[in-house]
Amino acid sequence: MSEEAAGTRRRNARGAGQALRGDIVSAAREILVEDGYASSVTLRGLARRIGIAPQSIYLHFTGPDEIVQAVTVETFAQLGRCIAEAKQGIEAPRDRLVAGCRAYMAFGVDNPNLYGLLFQRNRLLRGEEPRPTSADEPDTRDPDAGPFAYLMESIRLCVADGSSDVTDVLSTATLLWAAMHGFVLLRNGYQFPWPDLAQAETELISSIARLHEPAARPSGAAGT
């Protein structure tokens, strides 16, 4: 089930400290899932949805922008978990790369408004990934974590075991990310007789990352 299709959250008692902060973020997430626009998140709307006074929100956030930022950080973390879970139990680097990329695209297709939020907020932040707003939130600016880091490492492992012939991991990861992003946006925005998704996704990933069976690697390539 998609994150956006999840059921109604359970509310905490009024004034329950950190639990109230979680309620605020969850309510903002619900609003963003419904219409996808950060401008729809207002203090009055959140307070009405949660059942608190608008002033209570200032105990945890400076305003709507910071609340939307918290949802964005949370969504980045959820996307990362989806990718990691999809790769669990898979040993071959090539298969792990395909599984992780397909999980990325599935998240975007299943959660169009939340996925769009990631890039809407990134644009508003002038290319910087959102900073966490509390010590409990993951820092998506960490170069050793997050979806793009997973992608880079997966491609490196494919090169190392001979299942990919790419020579520039960063360039390949960037091109593959751009292709997956475009695929998700087109799927979300246009009615079209799309081919079988599993096949299309696998072919997209394999062609850009130049994947093949390790045994098929050209002789002498290991020493290059």
**In this predicted structure, what is the pLDDT of residue 134?**
52
Please indicate whether residue 6 or residue 178 has the higher confidence score (pLDDT): 178
More confident residue, 223 or 149: 149
What CATH number did the domain enclosing 109 receive? 1.10.357.10
- Looking at residue 120, its pLDDT comes to 76
Query: Is 18 part of any domain?
Result: no
User: Would residue 56 count as lying in a domain?
Assistant: no
Work out the angle at residue 157's Cα, subtended by the Cα atoms of residues 103 and 128, and round it to the nearest 5 degrees: 60
CA angle 197, 201, 202 (to 5 degrees): 120
Total number of domains in the chain? 1
Asked, for residue 97, whether it belongs to a domain, the answer is: yes
Q: Which of these ranges, 7-21, 166-180, 189-203, has the smallest mean pLDDT?
A: 7-21
23 has pLDDT over 80 = yes
Residue range(s) defining the domain that contains residue 101? 65-223
Q: Is residue 9 part of a domain?
A: no
Tens digits of per-residue pLDDT, 50-108? 999 999 999 999 999 999 989 988 998 899 899 999 999 999 999 999 999 999 999 99
Helix, strand, or coil (residue 211): strand
User: Per-residue pLDDT for 133 more than 70?
Assistant: no
Query: Of 116 and 127, which is predicted with more confidence?
Result: 116
Confirm whether 140 is domain-assigned: yes
What pLDDT is attached to residue 57? 93
Asked whether residue 181 is domain-assigned, the answer is yes
Which of 213, 2, 197, 167 has the alpha carbon at shortest distance from 101? 197
Using CA atoms in the order 64, 66, 68, 73, what is the torsion angle rounded to 10 degrees? -170
Instruction: Note whether residue 53 is domain-resident.
Output: no
Is 144 a member of any domain? yes
Q: Are 113 and 36 in contact (CB under 8 A)?
A: yes
Residue 219 scores a pLDDT above 90? no
Confidence of residue 190 (pLDDT cuts 50, 70, 90): confident
Biggest CA–CA distance in the chain, Å, is: 70
